Amino acid sequence: MSDFEVLVIGAGPGGYVAAIKAAQHGKKVAVVEKEHLGGVCLNWGCIPTKALLKSAEILDAARHAKDYGLVVPEAKPDVAAVMKRSRDVAGSMSKGIDFLLKKNKVTVLSGTAAFTGPKTVAITKADGSTQTVSGDAVIIATGHQPRSFPHLPVDGEQVVNYRHLLARTSAPASLLCIGAGAIGMEFGYFFNAMGTKVTVVEALDQVLPLEDSEISQFVARSFTKGGIDVRTATKVVKLERKPGSVAVHLEKDGKAEVVEVETVLVAVGFLANTANLGLDKAGVQLDERGFVKVDANQATTATGVYAIGDVAGKQLLAHKASFEGEAAVGHICGHPQPVDYAQIPGCTYCQPQVASLGLTEKKAKDRGRPYKVGKFQFMASGKAKAIGHPEGFVKLIFDAEHMQLIGAHMTGYDATELLGELSVAMKLEATATELMLTVHAHPTLHEAVMEAAADALGCCVHQ
């Protein structure tokens, strides 16, 4: 007999959710974690970075207090205190995960796991001792690690990744972010607010490459207006370390340039954490990109072994990992519930924030799908004007035949908080008419959704 009915490797947002769900189904469950409960998201990603960004927002608001008729002494950042708050928030959340696991009677095994057989795992503890356990079903939830390149060697001091930045207690005088995805843009916004001279470099022709082009263009203009040097369609050729600085060699349209900064952030993607897992001993295969191969139920090529979250590819997002955890447990318990990847929302928490769901306009066009677009600018929103944030807009994309919602893209203050309504709408296959006729409280930012739906129909509601 196996030691556990379900054995989970990794206690991130996919792993701990899977473990708790399996326990709630009456299974005997254990989760193996080599570092901190909550994984990268809770300890080094989603949660601590949002704490940092909130400090940046409050600092920016204090600097503009006069715009609200308030007199506030000159606001200055205490970066060490900001960083400490971020770590404290992450720490308290990790304790919360520990409480939930104990409450649901999930056994926590500390150490590094590696397969020794099809469903058998050896756990190496901090003191070097080992323990071997087995599971009727094993769920791999080992997450990701930052991608590195030979010409962009990370040393943790002058050239860093996001984890190194989160451990700092001071802001660099200058920072160059290589990569304008969510990490590069969020840290770029944060350190700019802290007083750092920031440059963001992206090899593709727009920041936030996965977002709708209009949204990306708006955010790039906002960053530039805020004093951030944004460079798209620009390659980083090499890094040259010097005492106290790094010379970054750039190339755009065949023209070379060197930018010298104190610190370089490398934010150019992720690799699946599969090294030293012994996947070959379990019969688990990887795809061509190095992620674990899974089917619609998260099952791998090895019977009884599943993979969820970043290690299984697709969108590398915490909420996607959690839903995959539920999908894997559902299949184990005989209640399949595959994840619908077309309805995974994405968020970027710089200001202005970015929130998206479904098809971009370009994707709809590339697929030859007839569509209609509805837009609403926050500058026409009473609530946005009242709170002093009229920047940004809502852009909704509808199937032209039935006017069903197939894409939602927003940028603006707290835009990520507007996405829930549209996630439900897309799940229920709502139409533009239904969104327009849904009564939205006034004044709220949510009214922009109603107005954008009305615009797609060629009419207006309350403008």
DSSP result, 165-187? HHT-SS--SEEEEE--SHHHHHH
**Residue 203 φ/ψ, nearest 5 degrees:** -70, -30
Residue 352: asked if its preceding bond is cis (omega within 30°), the reply is yes
Question: Which residues are CB-neighbours of 179 under 8 A, at least 6 positions away?
Answer: 201, 202, 265, 266, 267, 268, 269
Q: How far apart are the first and last CA of the chain?
A: 68
Query: What does the alpha-carbon distance between residue 330 and residue 318 come to, in Å, rounded to a whole number?
Result: 18
Please list the residues that pair with 261 across neighbouring strands. Answer: 246
Question: Which residues are CB-neighbours of 41 under 8 A, at least 6 positions away?
Answer: 12, 13, 47, 318, 321
The answer to whether the CB of 415 falls within 8 A of the CB of 355 is yes
Check 409, 442, 446, 462 and give the catalytic one: 442
Query: What does the alpha-carbon distance between residue 21 and residue 37 come to, in Å, rounded to a whole number?
Result: 16
Question: Which residues are CB-neighbours of 293 under 8 A, at least 6 positions away?
Answer: 284, 285, 286, 287, 300, 301
What does each C-alpha distance from 365 to 212, 383, 398, 426 come to in angstroms? 12, 33, 12, 19
What does each C-alpha distance from 150 to 267, 331, 421 come to in angstroms? 14, 41, 44
Beta strands in 323-387 (DSSP E): 346-348, 353-358, 371-377
Q: Which amino acid is at 241?
A: R
Neighbours of 306 (CB within 10 A): 29
The answer to whether the CB of 403 falls within 8 A of the CB of 431 is yes
Q: Which amino acid is at 457?
A: L
The answer to whether the CB of 265 falls within 8 A of the CB of 178 is yes
Is 442 labeled as catalytic in the residue annotation?
A: yes
Question: Which residues are CB-neighbours of 107 under 8 A, at least 6 positions away?
Answer: 4, 29, 30, 31
Which residues are identified as catalytic?
Answer: 442
